[in-house]
Structure 1
Amino acid sequence: MNYFLCFSFLVVTSLFSIPIREKPTQAQNAPDKPNVLFIAVDDLRPELGCYGKTAVISPNIDRLASQGTLFNRAYCQIPVCGASRASLLTGLRPNRNRFLNYKTWADKDAPEAVTLPQHFKNNGYYTVSNGKIFHYQDDKLESWSELPWRARDPSNDWRNYVTEAAQQIAIDHGNGKGPAFEQADVPDTAYFDGKIAAKTIADLKRLKEQDQPFFLAVGFLKPHLPFNAPSRYWDLYNPQNLPEASNPFPPESAPDAAIHNFGELRNYAGIPPEGALNESMAKLMVHGYHACISYTDAQIGKLLDTLEELDLADNTIVVLWGDHGWNLEEHGLWCKHCNFETSLRAPLLIKAPGLPAGQRTEALTEFVDIYPTLCELSNLAQPQQLEGTSLVPLLSQPNTSGKEYVFSKYHEGFTVKNDRYRYTEWSKDDGEVYARMLYDHQQDSLENVNIVDLPENKEIVKGLQQQLRKMYQEDFMK
């Protein structure tokens, strides 16, 4: 079936009956159906000024934090983009057979699930997808009122680069990936995120004139590799003043299962196939990551400015999230793909009409909580499929205690965190455990010493292991 015919068919067939929970109470002073600006940022860890990272230049995301609520302990369900996005957008957790890696299709793993944008569409919203929202552009097409738009052609990775030299390296490299970084004296729109911002600004102007609320999803690509951004964002930083990981080594007594070879980075030209990066390359990677944060921050600022200029700010919910964390040589690692705090903790900011501004909460929260939160803020009933809990109580009273436990997984590693500890275990399909880790975040916030085998921690491990089995019952029943 033709792509456009397929989209039309799915749009028509998407309007079916959905099991729903009780309709929520409308937030005080909030519009009945607020607009939603849903901002996803690829590979963004909490490396932002509003998260206390003073070396980072992120004034626009910091501005958003001052207008809403910052969730300081928000965790993704799985630290890889395709699976994390499928989980968040369906409100379902990963398990041994669902949402496994970056190649995840929500269509295939959860065909009956009603996605977050689809639920809004079925309730009278006009839904638009710009940039990277689902990993695959044509995943869950019934979610959108028009075809998802992207600035890039995914079949030509060399188009990530604007200089002829870097493009040629990408072509010669064979896999379309050239250097792991690029800086060029070009306008913001020379790279993809600038194009995404320009398209979104045009859409905001268009959608303002429509006689229905909108759900506008915007997926920025940076700071995902390659670290490509206009040179003026690189020039914001003196690389000698950027922070370096204080623990560029595997944790003491960490199992082999916890460590990987950061193959994602090694795909790029100029990166050695194994071993640690040399000092100059490591500094360059940190510099590039920060430059890309500032580049994307500038694009987000343009969207926030447009909301103000169009008088949309007071009736629009703005949500910003990074799909997972990222390692900047902590534990000797780069990229994500692991069960450490650096890969699992990610930014989450929510600004909602009628709710207080400039708040911060330390409550434990999860990305599966975003779907029910937006339903409640928009006065929509929640589909029965949802496995998260609305964060609206925390938006009203940020000092309220959140969840006692949050859960994530990556491949065969299942992990649970409570207020003090993170426990992770790796097991085969039959449930047999072959590796474990325990970190005391009160004493060891950087996770440098695995204390799972200390006799005094036996009961702690037992209790956390029970919570894992309670959450992932079907995965441990064999």
Structure 2
Amino acid sequence: MKRRTFVKQSTLCLAGLALAPGCLLKEKPSGVTHPNLVLVFPDQMRGQALGFLHEEIVFTPNLDRFARESVVFSQTVSNYPVCSPFRASLMSGKYPPSHGVLGNCNSKSAEYGYELKTNERCWSDILKEKGYSLGYIGKWHLDNPHKPYVKCYNNTEKFAWNEWCPPERRHGFDFWYAYGTYDRHLNPMYWTTTAKRDEPIWVNEWGPKHEADLAIRYIKNEGGQFRQPDRPFALVVAMNPPHMPYDQVPRKYQELYRDIPLEKLCKRPNIPPAGTKWGDYYRRHIKNYLAMISGVDEQFGRILQALEEANLADQTIVIFTSDHGNCLGIHDKISKSNPYEESMRVPFLIRWPGKIAPRQDDLLLSSPDIYPTILDLMGFSEDIPPEVEGVSHAQLLLQGERPRPTSQLYYQIPYGLPAGGSRGVRTHRYTLVITRRPDKKDEEIILFDRQTDPFQMTNIASKRPDLVKRLINDELMPWLKKTKDPWLEQG
């Protein structure tokens, strides 16, 4: 197979991949019906960037319509707002100290074994055992690169980033059209189900459009070429945009924002002023960032339409979320891995027609909660492994009020220092973060009151030691003990 392939060539190799030897599924118990699942999550889409929330000027008509049919968990966070740690929490239902992915998967983290464990019991493994067809399309980013590195641009920099995922590490996904991490949105690369490590393909098309095309074909499944038609399915579509580079977006989405005065997009008080390094960075990229979100929105809408056309919408749970947000220069932060709302807060919308009543809910949803909630909703609550640390909110979704968490954890962990870095909690009102730095004796503490200071402009930790103490004792310490965090040992 040639290493560079165009769209027409790449699509030819898809037929029959899902039905390769070893992919035949178990019979479903008679009389038992379980829903399908479609999980769509773009990379680096902050929770404020949804048109219906009116927090930013952003055009998301499909998500706006989807929100009217869904439960919108408006206070969902990425507990460790970095790509690989979130993905490991999503797949394992665990917090970072337990799943071990304490940073992004690259050649540096490979020294410490930061990748999803082969023997991790993921929700996809359980669905596979239950007879589901499983498909994964897009960014995976849960394998460390190893030498000789795959030949691609982002394996020739300071760190190597991209890696093929061998079949034994795909956790039940029998249809595979994915890559590790590769930020060329207009010329993405993929490994197909049966491709070997040295057989990636490149496609001359915007990644989300190409991936939505493939997702639509998977859903419609004409001729049974992607999955077994008499089995339920779970499909993940992990788009890379709106991750940088921001200018790699089709012109038609850029045109949506062309005539909007730039300063109209820069009204938030935590955006640095023009003429500063990060203020200029924000202004240089914000229109393209929003354009990519509008592009993702259009492709998500096409996937929803495919479910309707295939008469599968009513029997399919659809989730839209993201792995983390993006500061884009806000608070002088380039993107993620910080406790500001633009970094931590992510979209989370879930629809199941006739089962889940649409509404907006301020549940403090955490990344590991997605795993048990999915399995519980799909009828497999008894199969959730005891080591899963997330909490199922299925009954809250189905029946309304249930016990709710009072806080969410925050992590930032330096490479090779599992007991170092930052730990914190986010409640409905406060964000508290404690940071330990190797070169400083004292801990740094930040405390924001988001009720009176929604843009997190003023650190009140020194003025409210009583509140700091209460949040540590009542919220942070119980979390750290529950997750057996080595950070405790250094306290």
1:368 corresponding residue in structure 2:
368
Partner SS for 2:303: helix
The answer to which of 336-345 and 348-357 deviates more is 348-357
1:288 corresponding residue in structure 2:
288
2:192 corresponding residue in structure 1:
none
Change (3 A) 1:68 1:48: same
Partner SS for 2:137: strand
Aligned-partner Cα distance in 1 for 2:309–2:320: 20
What's the TM-score, normalizing by structure 1? 0.76
Deviation at residue 203 of structure 1 after TM alignment: 0.8
Amino acid at match of 1:80: V
2:14 corresponding residue in structure 1:
none
1:265 corresponding residue in structure 2:
none
Partner SS for 2:59: coil
Change (3 A) 1:310 1:161: closer
Aligned-partner Cα distance in 2 for 1:301–1:81: 24
Change (3 A) 1:365 1:153: closer
Residue pair 1:339, 1:413 contacting (<8 A) in 2 also: no
1:144 corresponding residue in structure 2:
172
Q: Structure 1: where are the runs of 5+ without partners? A: 1-6, 16-29, 163-187, 251-271
Aligned-partner Cα distance in 2 for 1:446–1:394: 30
Amino acid at match of 1:72: S
Partner SS for 1:95: helix
Q: Which of residues 91, 94, 113 is equivalent to 1:92?
A: 94
2:256 corresponding residue in structure 1:
236
Change (3 A) 1:98 1:209: closer
Partner SS for 1:33: coil
The answer to which of 191-200 and 137-146 deviates more is 137-146
Partner SS for 1:218: strand
Deviation at residue 236 of structure 1 after TM alignment: 0.6
Partner SS for 1:453: helix
1:74 corresponding residue in structure 2:
76
Residue pair 2:138, 2:177 contacting (<8 A) in 1 also: yes
1:255-300 deviation line (CA, Å, top 9, x unaligned): xxxxxxxxxxxxxxxxx9xx71464x53230001000001111111
1:135-186 deviation line (CA, Å, top 9, x unaligned): 4451772413425213x6967x5x5446xxxxxxxxxxxxxxxxxxxxxxxx
Partner SS for 2:296: helix
Amino acid at match of 1:92: K
Amino acid at match of 2:244: L
Residue pair 2:278, 2:329 contacting (<8 A) in 1 also: no
Change (3 A) 1:120 1:141: same
Aligned-partner Cα distance in 2 for 1:129–1:82: 16
1:214-250 deviation line (CA, Å, top 9, x unaligned): 0111111110111211101000113415421322359
1:435-470 deviation line (CA, Å, top 9, x unaligned): 11111111111111111111xx22211122123222
Partner SS for 2:321: strand
1:195 corresponding residue in structure 2:
210
Deviation at residue 396 of structure 1 after TM alignment: 3.1
Aligned-partner Cα distance in 1 for 2:458–2:282: 24
Amino acid at match of 1:364: L
Kindly tell me the number of residue pairs found equivalent between the two proteins: 401
1:182 corresponding residue in structure 2:
none
Q: CA RMSD in A?
A: 3.3
The answer to which of 288-297 and 416-425 deviates more is 416-425
Change (3 A) 1:447 1:398: farther
1:427 corresponding residue in structure 2:
436
Aligned-partner Cα distance in 1 for 2:295–2:396: 30
Change (3 A) 1:147 1:397: closer
Amino acid at match of 2:252: R
Residue pair 1:40, 1:133 contacting (<8 A) in 2 also: no
2:271 corresponding residue in structure 1:
248
The answer to which of 292-301 and 413-422 deviates more is 413-422
Residue pair 2:92, 2:99 contacting (<8 A) in 1 also: no
Change (3 A) 1:86 1:49: same
Deviation at residue 66 of structure 1 after TM alignment: 1.3
Aligned-partner Cα distance in 1 for 2:347–2:397: 15
Partner SS for 2:75: strand
Aligned-partner Cα distance in 2 for 1:374–1:97: 19
Partner SS for 1:334: coil
Aligned-partner Cα distance in 2 for 1:427–1:124: 47
Residue pair 2:278, 2:333 contacting (<8 A) in 1 also: no
Aligned-partner Cα distance in 2 for 1:459–1:134: 41
Partner SS for 1:216: strand
What percent of counterpart residues are identical?
27
The answer to which of 285-294 and 387-396 deviates more is 387-396
Q: Which of residues 120, 124, 128 is equivalent to 1:121?
A: 128
Change (3 A) 1:134 1:277: closer
Q: Structure 2: where are the runs of 5+ without partners? A: 1-16, 26-30, 144-163, 188-202, 414-420
Aligned-partner Cα distance in 2 for 1:81–1:302: 25
Aligned-partner Cα distance in 1 for 2:36–2:52: 25
Amino acid at match of 1:70: V
Deviation at residue 113 of structure 1 after TM alignment: 2.3
Residue pair 2:141, 2:181 contacting (<8 A) in 1 also: no
Aligned-partner Cα distance in 2 for 1:239–1:353: 36
1:51-85 deviation line (CA, Å, top 9, x unaligned): 33362111111222111100000011201101111
1:57 corresponding residue in structure 2:
59
Deviation at residue 428 of structure 1 after TM alignment: 6.1
Change (3 A) 1:97 1:133: closer
Partner SS for 1:73: coil
